[in-house]
Structure formats: structure tokens, C-alpha cells
Amino acid sequence: MANRWVPLESNPDVLNSWSSKAGLVTSQDEFTDVYGFDPELLAMIPQPVKAVVLLFPISEGYEKSRKEEDAKIIKEGQHPIDSTILWIKQTIGNACGTMGLIHALANSNVTLAPESALAKFIEQSMDKSPEERSKLLETTPLFADIHAQAAAAGQTVAPSANERVDLHFTCFVQAPSPPSREEGIEVEDDQRRLIELDGRRGGPIDRGVCSDLLQDAARFIKETYVPLAQSLEFSMLALAPPAA
């Protein structure tokens, strides 16, 4: 990753600034802090939640688990992923914040301003491979400018582009379960699935049946990410309607 950006700070002001500049109509949806995994705290978030963005600490345990899971998916496969999911391979260093935001907004039922940077990017990306989408992102200066402006708007001094940062963004969305086939007969499956979208992985990852995006994402994060962490530098944000 020769091309590197300044890391984004994980707070609602920064993510909403990025989203607004990219084209999200923030009067209808915005990012808000999720303060914990307890049901009472989750219940404070307006519904419907359309995406969950997580900033988490990278540890040796996580890296080992990540590589093992990616290898297992390559070897054994996983539950089919909805074909409309847009996933991008991360090829720009420290761009995981922008990757998480694009994954969240592109795979949610949100309103984007016509002709906005994100609306155009999604339209141009739909028929491209994840690698081609990466090249498009690398050569689209609008996103580099939006990322830089958002990074400068944080409450803390942003690290330099070349500084090693052991924190990473990932994203969770809800998607339909594709039709399955049994003995050559197509079987409709109306279940929703929890999908994790992380540009460092091999592709979208199915995380199981999803009946409530926020609750199911929080449960998965608590059970899977937290035990592997060596620090508590977690930040979870939900894309949801503005609080009344």
C-alpha cells in the first residue's frame, strides 16, 4: 500500500462530515455513537439502524484469526452472499475509515444527493470487480479530498499518513439471503443475513441470520472481537435516523 492517507478519527462529527461531503442526505440518516452492548444502551439508538461501523484494535490474536478464517472460506466456502452487495478491496494505507463509510452507505437504503461523489462512484462500480473498484477509488481525487478534510476535523491531532496505526474500521450491514438450490430446485429464503464488509479481508463475510442489525452486530462484536483485543480502544457507531 504505497499510497497512504491520514487516518480518520472515529466520532460522529467526523463520519457525518465525510458522509455529507460525499453525498448522504444527513437530515434523514446520520452516524451516532453506540455506548455499549447492554440492551438499554442499544435501545437508545433510533431505528431503523442501516449500518454499524466499528473501529477496533488490531492484535496478534485477531490477525491469526483473520488469516485462518479467510483461508477456511477459500477452502470450504460460506453461506452465499447477496449479489448486490458492493465490496471494495482496500489498497490505500490508512483508508479503512473511508472504506467503512463507503461500504456502509453503498449497502444501505439511504438517500444520496444526485450527482454526488458517492452516487457516481456506486454507479460506476456496480459492474466492476473489487480490484477494479479499488483502482477507481485510487484515481478519484474527490474521495482523497473528502477523507483529508474529515481527518483534519477530528478532536485529536491526527497521526501522519506514514505513522503505524493499530486500529482498523470494519462495517456490518443487513442483506437478503440469496435463493438456495436443493437437488436442482430453487428454494426461496426470506431470511436476512448479517454481512461484514472489511477491505482487508478476502471479500464480504456472512455472519449468520440477522433479525435486528444493531443487536446482532453488537452480539457478534462482543463475542468475537472483544475477546481477541489487547486494549479497549473500541468505537462503535450506528447509521440511523437523527434523534427526535
pLDDT the model gives residue 119: 94
State the chain's maximal CA–CA distance in angstroms.
58
pLDDT at 182: 46
What pLDDT, on a 0 to 100 scale, did the predictor assign at position 21?
Answer: 93
For residue 55, list its beta bridge partners: 169, 235
b vs e for 13-26, b when ≥16 Cβ sit within 10 Å of the residue's Cβ?
Answer: ebbbbbbbbbbbee
pLDDT given for residue 3 in this prediction: 75
Instruction: Exactly one of 103, 168, 171, 210 is catalytic; name it.
Output: 168
DSSP string, 68-116: HHHHHHHHH--SPPPTT-------SBT-HHHHHHHHHHHTS---B-TT-
Residue 186 confidence (pLDDT): 47
- The yes-or-no answer on residue 96 being catalytic is yes
Helices (H), the chain: 12-22, 39-42, 60-76, 96-106, 117-125, 130-138, 141-152, 213-220
Identify the CATH homologous superfamily for domain 12-207. Answer: Peptidase C12, ubiquitin carboxyl-terminal hydrolase (3.40.532.10)
Residue 233: per-residue pLDDT: 86
Residues of the chain with pLDDT under 50: 1-2, 157-162, 181-188
DSSP H or E run through 211:
none
The Cα 29–Cα 235 span in angstroms is: 19
How many CB atoms within 10 Å of residue 156?
A: 7
Q: Which of 96, 103, 147, 210 is catalytic?
A: 96
Domain boundary assignment for the chain:
12-207
Distance CA 237, CA 34 (A): 5
Tens of pLDDT, residues 31-79 = 999 999 999 999 999 999 999 999 999 999 999 999 999 999 999 999 9
**Active-site residue 171, yes or no?**
no
Q: Confirm if 172 and 52 have CB atoms less than 8 A apart.
A: yes
